[in-house]
Amino acid sequence: MAEFTMELNDEQKEVRDWLHGFAADVIRPAAAEWDEREETPWPVIQEAAKVGIYSLDFYAQQYFDPTGLGIPMAMEELFWGDAGIALSIVGTGLAAVGVLANGTEEQIGTWIPQMYGDASDVKVAAFCSSEPDAGSDVGSMRTRAVYDEAKDEWVLNGTKTWATNGGIANVHVVVAVVDAELGSKGHASFIIPPNTPGLSQGQKFKKHGIRASHTAEVILDNVRVPGSCLLGGKEKLDARLARAREKAKKGGERVKNAAMATFEASRPAVGAMAVGTARAAYEVALEYAQTREQFGRPIIDNQGVAFQLADMRTSIDAARLLVWRASWMAINGRPFTAAEGSMSKLFASETAKKVTAQAIQILGGNGYTREYPVERMHRDSAIYTIFEGTSEIQRLVIARTLAGMPIR
């Protein structure tokens, strides 16, 4: 087990500096353009693929870093560059986590490479869980998967929403209900291979922020996939459902469902994204406060501004420490006995919203214009308190964990 540390080793520092250079030289100069265009920044993703950032190998190296700091360090640097473009680069990772968390070794080896493609033919993937009537309440999911035993195929019907890369993905990972009586315990995850008949893109959303990231509905109309596309396999699913039914008869112990497994693994990473955006806004505000003069002196000499910057930096560092702790715990198999994963996501996301708003205030009228990036950063930061569990849901998870109550 790796010791928890607040100091990156030499190899991690080298990777961090490399990512920071890519974010500064490639992502940030393109940020305003793709935010305005509200389109997937394919040229930037391709550049990331060329240098090895958008690849299975890079993601795996960071994911399996024994300190747990590889992923949060990478997320912070990329999202420091720009949240919308960075999400387009890392969005495939959520689908990959879904496969890693629930799939067999064969499924991992078969499908994750197809999610990324290569530098000459870049692909993306989508994780599809939320529905129009089932966001935080995953127990209300309506998408159904029915097993056709004669053909060894699963038939999926339903509509997914808020799917990053939804409809444009090469591979979709879809969470569906296989036993409605078990609620969220009766869910399973499925791979939808490329060009599968019946899968189509629905509405593409025009968003307040992260506008360079494609977000859309995914419609499943009698989508048939081979039995091998059930993540984990049918034998494992049948055993899990049998245990859930038995426990339901005895009073209902907590059973982790497929979507929850994915979100638990990714929440500290979302916290790191928020830290990156907050840090970017803080740095802009700090530089502005040091160079902007009013009444014959830099505005940082004014206590009202200086104290804001002090609070911003303190909150950012505290958020990073919560993220790193949760990431270290996760990779080392430490249980989240106090919902430390949700704590990290909650505090970091709230910090990003607050810090970006403070940055606009420090820049004054300039901060409210698109001539400066803090306006975009503030719009982008709003998503962190919403996706992969709202702040309200994080507080609920933390509270129920502390009380020893089941999380449904």
CA-wise closest residue to 342 among 382, 387, 407, 389:
389
Give 148: exposed, middle or buried? Use CB within 10 Å, 0-12, 13-18, 19+: exposed
The answer for residues whose C-beta is within 8 angstroms of residue 205's C-beta and 6 or more apart is: 162, 215, 216
Query: Per the structure block, which two tokens stand in for 355?
Result: 């810090």
Among the listed residues 47, 77, 264, 388, the single catalytic one is 388
Cα separation, 208 vs 280, whole angstroms: 19
Please report which residue ranges of 250-302 form alpha helices under DSSP H. 258-291
Cα separation, 121 vs 50, whole angstroms: 10
The answer for residues whose C-beta is within 8 angstroms of residue 181's C-beta and 6 or more apart is: none
DSSP 196: -
- Alpha carbon 215 to its chain centroid, in Å, reads 13
- 388 labelled catalytic: yes
Query: Per the structure block, which two tokens stand in for 61?
Result: 């190296």
Active-site residue set: 388
